[in-house]
Structure 1
Amino acid sequence: MNNSAFSFQTLTPELILDSLAVIGIYVDSGLTALNSYENRVYQFSDENRTRYVVKYYRPHRWDKLQIIEEHQFTQQLVQADIPAIAPTTINNNTVHEYQGYLFTLFPSVGARQYEIDNLEQFDSVATMLGRIHQIGAKQPFEHRPTIGLQEYLYQPQEILLSNAIVPNKIQTDLKIILRNLIKTVEQYWHNDWQPIRLHADCHPGNILWHDKAIIVDFDDARNGPAIQDIWMLLNGDQQQQRIQLSSFIELYEEFFPFNHDQLILIEPLRAMRIVHHLAWIIERWQDPAFPRAFPWLTDIDFWQQQLKQFNQQIEAIKAPPLQLLSIM
């Protein structure tokens, strides 16, 4: 696909105002751009002083059915009294279209950023995720993909090895080390897990706090193993992560059983995320926002460090997986 198809060149302030007016929303404040590279997201107040967030989806990434599935999932969570941010329904629709752009309106929620070292907040997230996965396991996504090697390693490998951004001096080493990383992941990756609907990008930046944890931004939602929504919340050295994970799973399992065989997938999933993230940046490079945000991508020093990280990740995958603390 031509990368220009992924751009937002025609998404002008005038187009945004016109698109909102079509669904009966009239902006009475400025449009404040929020931090989002994949989509374009703006906060504003309407003529009734109601605060909204509007998201314009990157063209050709998700189709309308896939976006609707995301919205249906978050609506199911809200109906179960789980603190997630669901889209606003207007004229019986949550997905609207204007001049080639799909867009959605959300309520603007005031909250603080999640604190990774706050035990009360950590426990709240564990309970919330157990409840989310309880709902997510009731049926899989039909139109959204399932986490796997094709999307997260094989396709990114092709992108990384066929672009002009990687310095010439690095390309041979990149090809060898990346191939070794993928072979190592293949050895430890297994599909012996129930695919459930996931948030799939559950890092601390997608969690807010307002007397309880609130999960936001289901844009990457897809089917996959439950551990995908858990491992990115762990931090510190291995012993600290063992303590965190043990406490987390104890609360999580009050609502949904955890398959301990998925612990071996943590480091393969980390490797997949690293490789996929690099390819994602390269694939979006013609979007002016990406060279501004990731200027180091063309530096040879960055790629040399990246090769070291790949080798370190190979060793991490081969090491014994993270285990829960024994209960006496």
Structure 2
Amino acid sequence: EMNSFENRVYQLGTEDGGMLIAKFYRPGRWSDAAILEEHAFALDLASQDIDLVPPLADSAGATLRAFGPYRFALFERRGGRSPDFEDAEQLRQLGRFIGRLHAVGKKERYQHRPTLDVTTFGSNCAGFLLEHDFIPTELIPAYESLTQDLIQRVSWCYERCPNLKLIRTHGDCHRGNILWTEAGPHMVDLDDSRMAPAVQDLWMFLSGEREDCEQTLHMLLEGYTLFADFDPAELNLIEALRTLRLMHYFAWIARRWHDPAFPRAFPWFNTARSWEQHILDLREQAALMDEPPLTWHAVG
């Protein structure tokens, strides 16, 4: 069994000595229609030589399979190493890859998968944590007032993007989800794919001081804009999206706390210290959302 919190993922040997990956979907997380939308996007990408590992179809062309009550999909096993995020050419190549993914992602909308927005990743998450007694009593007033303030600030960030377009994104595009080979970058799946701003698939590659972030951003967008347009107004959303990710992360663990794997994996979670640190992290986000966005100027 391989490491995955949302699904059960197994490596299987085949009769001819090859290896496949079987991903069993956690019951109740996604509807069949939502999974099939993800599969259709992955197959569309693969058909255009965009290097994402698509699900394998059976003889009838179906990609979503069943074993008793369990739904699963099969994938080729693909390896790779982590990219070198200090290498300007690898950053440009990664930008080209995401630009090509988004050029396909813009063509259609998801009908059955959720949208990453202030409701699903913000207010719903704060509401769940407040309603289910996860937050230490003495910290509830601070958390409640802070998250109300943050949700307002996130909304203001979105207002600075008057022409915002939501597209099908990878959704969880961070350094650990990119694999590199001699052929370049590839991704393993689209399990968190949803409608979101394009910048959602770019901001998690930025780290360090402002100057470092802008330098990385310029390299990524130099490659990205060869294949897809990028609206600079979306740079107003970077700290808003980081805030939503922080809020969603704690709610995600809380929603799964009944699963024995979660207390084992996150023993720090349900402690006063972790909530104090979480509130400090969120306060820092309030300040960051007040700062000017990163700058980027399209070339040509």
Q: TM-score, normalised by structure 2?
A: 0.94
1:260: which partner in 2? 232
- Select the residue among 207, 213, 219 that pairs with 2:178: 207
| Whole-Å separation in 2 of the counterparts to 1:160 and 1:53 | 34
Name the Cα RMSD after superposition: 1.6
Moved more, 224-233 or 190-199: 190-199
- Of the structure 1 ranges 137-146 and 237-246, higher mean CA displacement relative to structure 2 is found in 137-146
Contact 2:170 2:193 in 1 (8 A): yes
Contact 1:44 1:52 in 2 (8 A): yes
State the partner residue of 1:34: 2
Could you tell me how far apart the structure 2 residues matched to 1:278 and 1:115 are? 29
Q: How does 1:1-328 map to 2 (within 5 A)?
A: 33-91=1-59, 92-190=61-159, 192-211=163-182, 212-324=184-296
Does 39-48 or 53-62 show the bigger shift? 39-48
Contact 1:243–1:325 at 8 Å: present in 2 too?
Answer: no
CA distance in 1, matches of 2:189, 2:138: 38
2:154 corresponds to which letter in structure 1?
V
Q: Residue 75 of structure 2: SS of its match in structure 1?
A: strand
Cα 1:290–1:227 shift into 2, 3 Å: same
Structure 2 contact 94–223 (Cα < 8 Å) conserved? no
C-alpha displacement of 1:158: 1.1
Structure 1 residues without counterparts, runs of 5 or longer:
1-32
Which ranges of 4 or more aligned residues in structure 1 deviate by more than 6 Å? none
Distance (whole Å) between structure 1 residues aligned to residue 205 and residue 271 of structure 2: 30
Amino acid in the other structure paired with 2:78: V
CA distance in structure 2 between the aligned counterparts of 1:107 and 1:249, rounded to whole angstroms: 30
Give the match's secondary structure for 2:268. helix
Q: Structure 2: where are the runs of 5+ without partners? A: none
Amino acid at match of 2:97: M
Distance 1:43 1:113, change over 3 A: farther
Instruction: Describe the SS at the equivalent of 1:322.
Output: coil
Aligned to 2:26, the other structure's residue is in SS state coil
Asked whether the equivalents of residues 159 and 279 of structure 1 are also in contact (C-alpha less than 8 Å), the reply is yes
Give the aligned residue type for 1:193. L
Provide the aligned length of Structure 1 versus Structure 2. 296
SS at match of 1:305: helix
Q: Is the 8 A contact 1:114 1:205 kept in 2?
A: no
Shift in alpha-carbon separation, 1:108–1:168, aligned structure 2, 3 A: same
Q: Is the 8 A contact 1:165 1:297 kept in 2?
A: no
- Cα deviation code 1:22-46 (max 9, x no counterpart): xxxxxxxxxxx21211111111212
C-alpha distance in structure 1 between counterparts of 2:203 and 2:251, whole Å: 21
CA offset digits 1:251-270 (Å, max 9, x no partner): 11111110111110111111
Q: Given residue 204 of structure 1, which amino acid in structure 2 is its aligned partner?
A: R
Identity among equivalent pairs (%): 36
Distance 1:217 1:117 in 2: 25
